[in-house]
Every structure is written in structure tokens, then in C-alpha cells.
Amino acid sequence: MHSKSLVIFSIYLFANISFAGPLSEAEFNQVIKEAEEFFAPIYLQNGKVFTIESDFSYNENNAKASAYSIDHYYIELYGGLVKHPTATKDSFRAAICHEVGHHFGGRPLVPKYYKEYFLFRGSSEGQADYWSAHTCLKKWLELEDHEKILRQGSFSFKDLKFCRNYFREENESLLCTRIITAFKNMFSVKIETKPFVHFLSPYKEQTIPLAASVIHPKKDCRMETIYAGVICPQGNEYGCLLSGNRPEASRPLCWVGLEEILEYEVPKLPRGEVRRIQKLLMKMNLKGFNYDFYEDEETKYLGQKLSKKHEQFIKNLNLGLTHK
């Protein structure tokens, strides 16, 4: 790896050159072969057979994760994923990681009724994004020459600076930048979109979902998830906790639901730590709760059961009181 100053100079020469664009069918198939070789052993370690079904001729920018049986998982990949103007090999890899994330991303899971996941409880859309950034792409791409890849396309120096705030090793900073760029291209978000992590730059009031959704969060929320995930150093299924040493790397409340924090994290904390979580949540301008159209009756019932406690919790936050 070159020195830091040389990396800055060499990248600068290419930073405004974009090679993004539709991928060929050969490139589409190349990345799929690469994914099959990388992920098959991981599925086998978990007692599963892994298959990728693909159709380059199908122009929908979409994919899905499902299962043939409890022992045979698969994902479907369509040509539309690589035919849009901002598509790159890395953005395609990010899409594949997202689908694999439905299999292995962990909680929160989609509602039980969701038909695509009748053979397994798939991770929610937000969790699939988060796992992709903090685990999947890091492992898949870690041995590659990240400087070389970044030099071949456009990226944001703001993202590189952001990553250097969290990673001492230059190679890790470059990988971080590469992952962020991959998702920006996947979401068709402008490369120069400013880095945003929820506890670094609190923004407008948020209505907190009572349960994880089976639909994709909005793009700004998805990018917030990627920035949080990529700086999360925890390679476990759940990722970083709000109560951890890097709360801005925890999963954004714009999709995760406050009950995940209260029901999963708070009970595990020493009593003195609860106040610290409260102070962090106060920065989020929390406002009430909403039900998602896709939530099932069981989810709604449990949500209603929790809502009184949650509403009181938010009231106490607004009053600056200690949560008991």
C-alpha cells in the first residue's frame, strides 16, 4: 500500500472520472460466479445449500431471497440490477449482499405471515442493508486492491474523510469508502451526498415504527444505515448496540423500531447505563409511533401492548427524566 499522501494524490487524479454505467451480460455472470464461490461455503457451514437463479434479460431493478426447503436457500438476480446508469460491479455485489442478508442478517425479522419467508424468518429490509455494510461486503472485498478500484470510478472525498475518522489503517478507510460508494450507486444516490450518521447530525423529528417493515426504508434512511453499518466494528449478526462505545454505528431508529432498543438492549444494561441511552435518544427528536401497512395482526397487538410504555418513555425523555 502506498503512503497516505500518495494515495490522496493518486486518487485525486481519478476522482471525477466515472466509469459507472450498464454492465454487460458477461460482467453480470462474472459477479454471479464470484458470489457462488464466495457464499456457498458460508451456507454449507450453516447446513444450507446455496443457489443463485439469474435472468439477465429481465429488466426489473430488483432481486429476492427465498428458499426451496429449510435446507436449500436461494436468491434471484435480475438484469435490471446492472442496467441502470449508476450500476457497477460493486453496486451489484452490494445488491447480492443485501439478498444474502435476508438469510443471515439476524433480527429484527419480518412479520411471520410474509409469504416469501414461509420456510425461514428473513431479516427485515433495513437489517439486510445494515448487515451488508458491517459484515458481508467487508469480508467479500477485504483482500482486493481498494485503491485501484476507487481510482477506476467516482467517489466522494467527504466519504473518504469520514472513513478515516473511524479507521486507522488506510486500507480499511479505502474499503469503507468503497462500500459506501457501492451502495450510493446501488441506490442511485448522488456520489457527493454528505455523510450522515444519526447521532452525529440529528435531524427532523422522527415517528418511530413499532415494528420492522417488509418494505424498503426511504433512500436517506437506507444511506444512514450504510454509514452506520460500515463504521460498526462488530462482525456479529446483530452489529453495534446503541449502548456500545460507538452509538452512531448502531442501527438507525428510522427503521429499526424503538422496541428493539428497549426490549433487547436496555434489560442487559447496568442500571447506570440506562441514563446514557436516554441522553442519546433525546438527540433523536423522537415523536410518537406509527403502524406499518404491512404489519400483521400479531405485530399490531404486541405493538399496542408496548405502546403505552413507549409513550411514557418518550414523555420522560422530553421531560429529561430518568427512565426506570
Q: What is the pLDDT of residue 198?
A: 81
Q: Which of the four pLDDT bands, split at 50, 70 and 90, describes residue 165?
A: very high
Q: Which residues contact 308 (CB under 8 A, 6 or more apart)?
A: none
Number of domains in the chain: 1
Please compute the mean of the pLDDT values over residues 151-175 and round it to a whole number.
96
Q: Is 70 domain-assigned? A: no
Q: Which of the four pLDDT bands, split at 50, 70 and 90, describes residue 61?
A: very high
Q: Which of the four pLDDT bands, split at 50, 70 and 90, describes residue 8?
A: very low
Task: Give the number of residues written for the chain.
Answer: 324
Please compute the mean of the pLDDT values over residues 61-74 and round it to a whole number.
94
Query: What is the rounded distance in angstroms from the CA atom of residue 175 to the CA atom of residue 141?
Result: 8
pLDDT in tens, 263-317: 777 777 777 777 778 778 877 777 777 766 666 677 677 667 767 777 777 777 7
Query: What is the rounded distance in angstroms from the CA atom of residue 49 to the CA atom of residue 196?
Result: 38
Q: What is the pLDDT of residue 319?
A: 66
pLDDT in tens, 224-234: 999 999 999 98
pLDDT of 18 over the 70 cut:
no
Q: Which residues pair with 55 in a beta bridge?
A: 78
pLDDT of 256 over the 80 cut:
yes
pLDDT in tens, 187-206: 999 999 989 888 777 667 77
More confident residue, 50 or 152: 50
Q: Is 82 domain-assigned? A: no
Q: Is 90 domain-assigned? A: no
Query: Which letter does DSSP use for residue 65 in this model?
Result: E
Q: What is the pLDDT of residue 113?
A: 66
Q: Are strands 63-69 and 72-78 parallel, antiparallel or unpaired?
A: antiparallel
Whether the predicted model's global pTM rises above the 0.85 cut? yes
Instruction: Give CA angle at 258 (257, 261), nearest 5°.
Output: 110
Q: Is 144 domain-assigned? A: no
Please compute the mean of the pLDDT values over residues 153-164 and round it to a whole number.
96
pLDDT of 17 over the 60 cut:
no
Residue 199: closest CA among 235, 167, 232:
232
Q: Is 224 domain-assigned? A: yes
Query: What is the rounded distance in angstroms from the CA atom of residue 221 to the CA atom of residue 256?
Result: 11
What is the sign, positive or negative, of the torsion defined by CA atoms of 292, 278, 261, 168? positive
Q: Is 79 domain-assigned? A: no
Q: What is the pLDDT of residue 37?
A: 98
The parent domain of residue 266 ranges over: 206-319
Q: Is 303 domain-assigned? A: yes
Q: Is 310 domain-assigned? A: yes
